[in-house]
Amino acid sequence: MGDLNPNGLGTVSPEQHWNLDHVVAELRQARLRWRGAHGRLRELRARELPSREALGEIVQALCGALFPMRLGPPDLRDESEDYYVGHTLDIALNALLAQVRLELAYQARQHGRDSSQAEHDAVDIVRRFAAALPGIRGLLDSDVVAAFQGDPAARSVDEVLLCYPGVVAVTHYRLAHSLYNLGVPLLARMVAEIAHGETGIDIHPGARIGSGFFIDHGTGVVIGETAVIGARVRLYQAVTLGAKRFEVDENSDCGALAKGQPRHPIVEDEVVIYAGATILGRITIGRGSVIGGNVWLTRSVPPGSNITQANLLQESAPQP
């Protein structure tokens, strides 16, 4: 039932309150302008792009299958563990297949290709992703152990897995990186951004990260697309592994940035980078180095370096 008209002239429906017919029509025009500008004026009969909500459910299920007795259902018993893992993977991988199909069809439209091969390619991608899960579990085991060993406040590996935002972000990254390498970068980015929203840790799925990786505390950490991180590396909160400058695509008429160029740091094995450090450009941080808090670094350093604000200031001071 509509509300009373303030002038006392009968009732006013909610639609009249908000002038919804006009708003809906204007929004439709905005969509048509966008689709026209991007060559998408054909009639849409169904969703064209993957669903972030569906991917969130898939990742949650995959985490349960990877660590069933810790991240699985609360009533799970060890005698039914394998059944739970198999059943959960079957559901999750079929749901993932639907999302992979959407991305491959989207890629085909974007590049003007025939999408008839998408179904076969989607099945192959999900099969290969499933085969990678045991290896991902092995990497995650090394990450959890690194977090336990690297944090004196951690009382058990179970506490680390259940509580640490860095482990949540790295788990999403490991899954996303596999999808990225399998040719579905949009799905990979969406998986990574789910963790980014939850933890404040931004790891691009294209980054390459070795085993035993630990992010302590974590909020504000940024790891760029072309970063390369070795084994047994530890980062603290607000560390940035970013780009120093962005190259412009020479083939672009509008000054668009070049895509995929190596522009982020290489961090070798057993490096520790403390809170607030900013490391920019395609530079190398040598094995076993320690980078102090709030350091701003744009040059390579040799293995075993100990870089602090104080020694950087000494280097830059004018010589007598």
**Which pLDDT does position 110 carry in this prediction?**
82
Domain range for residue 277? 220-248+259-320
Q: How confident is the model at residue 1 (pLDDT cuts 50, 70, 90)?
A: very low
Mean pLDDT of the chain: 90
Assess if residue 59 is contained within a domain. yes
Please name every residue paired with 307 in a beta bridge, in sequence order, or none if there are none: 291
Query: With DSSP H G I counted as helix, E B as strand and the rest as coil, what are the percentages for the chain, rounded to 5?
Result: 50, 10, 40
Q: Domain check: are 234 and 163 in the same one?
A: no
Regarding whether 69 and 171 lie in a shared domain, the answer is yes
The alpha carbon dihedral of 299, 242, 140, 200 has a sign of: positive
Q: Which residues sit opposite 267 in a β-bridge?
A: 229, 285
CA gap 236, 200 in Å, rounded: 13
What are 34-46's pLDDT values in tens digits? 888 876 656 556 6
Q: How far apart are CA 302 and CA 289, in angstroms?
A: 8
Q: Are residues 107 and 237 in the same domain?
A: no
For residues 236 and 180, membership in a common domain is answered with no
Q: How confident is the model at residue 255 (pLDDT cuts 50, 70, 90)?
A: low
Q: How confident is the model at residue 316 (pLDDT cuts 50, 70, 90)?
A: low
Count of domains forming the chain? 2
131/73 same-domain check: yes
**What pLDDT does residue 119 have?**
86
Average of per-residue pLDDT across 11-37: 83
Q: What would you measure as the largest C-alpha separation in the chain, in angstroms?
A: 89
The pLDDT assigned to 43 comes to 55
Q: Is the pLDDT of residue 10 over 60?
A: no
190 inside domain: yes
pLDDT of residue 62: 98
Q: Where are the alpha helices (DSSP H) in the chain?
A: 14-18, 20-37, 52-66, 68-71, 81-110, 118-150, 157-163, 165-181, 185-199, 309-316
Q: Based on the domain organization, do 146 and 99 belong to the same domain?
A: yes
Q: Which residue has the higher pLDDT, 6 or 284?
A: 284
pLDDT in tens, 139-195: 999 999 999 999 999 999 999 999 999 999 999 999 999 999 999 999 999 999 999
Q: Based on the domain organization, do 227 and 319 belong to the same domain?
A: yes
- What value does the mean pLDDT take over residues 247-270? 79
Compute the distance between CA of residue 109 and CA of residue 117 in angstroms, rounded to an integer: 13
Q: Do the domain assignments include residue 168?
A: yes
Closest C-alpha among 239, 282, 285, 240 to residue 261: 282
pLDDT score for 153: 96
Residue 67, pLDDT score: 98
| pLDDT recorded at residue 45 | 61
Q: Are residues 162 and 71 in the same domain?
A: yes
Q: Is residue 37 in a domain?
A: no
Residue 109's CATH number: 1.10.3130.10
Q: How far apart are CA 226 and CA 228, in angstroms?
A: 6
Name 134's Cβ contacts closer than 8 Å, sequence gap at least 6.
Answer: none
Query: What's the pTM?
Result: 0.86
Distance CA 170, CA 192 (A): 9
Instruction: Give yes or no for a contact between 230 and 287, defined as CB atoms under 8 angstroms apart.
Output: yes
Asked whether residue 318 is domain-assigned, the answer is: yes
Q: Does 9 reside within a domain? A: no
Say if residue 177 is in the same domain as residue 277. Answer: no
Question: What's the pLDDT band for 5 if we cut at 50, 70, 90?
Answer: low
Please give the residue that has the higher pLDDT: either 285 or 111: 285
Number of CB atoms found within 10 A of residue 1's CB: 5
User: Residue 231's domain is classified under what CATH number?
Assistant: 2.160.10.10
35 within some domain: no
Q: In whole angstroms, give the CA distance from residue 122 to residue 244.
A: 37
- What's the average model confidence in pLDDT over 82-110? 95
> At how many degrees (to 10) do helices 81-110 and 52-66 cross?
150
Res. 204: pLDDT tops 50: yes
Is 190 in the same domain as 230?
no
Distance CA 118, CA 143 (A): 35
In whole angstroms, how large is the CA radius of gyration of the chain? Answer: 25
Contact indicator for 194, 175 with CB cutoff of 8 Å = no
- Burial tier of 95 (Cβ tally within 10 Å: 0-12, 13-18, 19+): middle
- Whether residue 126 sits in one domain with residue 181: yes
Q: Which of the four pLDDT bands, split at 50, 70 and 90, describes residue 118?
A: confident
Contact 269, 231 (CB under 8 A): yes
The encoded tokens of residue 68 equal 């069933």
* Distance in angstroms (rounded) separating the CA atoms of residues 79 and 87: 14
69 contacts 75 by C-beta, under 8 angstroms = no
For 273, the 3-state DSSP assignment is strand
Query: Above 70 in pLDDT, residue 234?
Result: yes
Q: How many CA atoms lie within 13 A of 208 on its CB side?
A: 11
- Confidence at residue 35, expressed as pLDDT on a 0 to 100 scale: 81
Residue 5 covered by a domain: no
Q: Are residues 115 and 182 in the same domain?
A: yes
297 backbone dihedrals φ, ψ, rounded to 5°: -130, 125
Over 60: is that where the pLDDT of 270 sits?
Answer: yes
Domain end point (choices 150, 179, 195)? 195
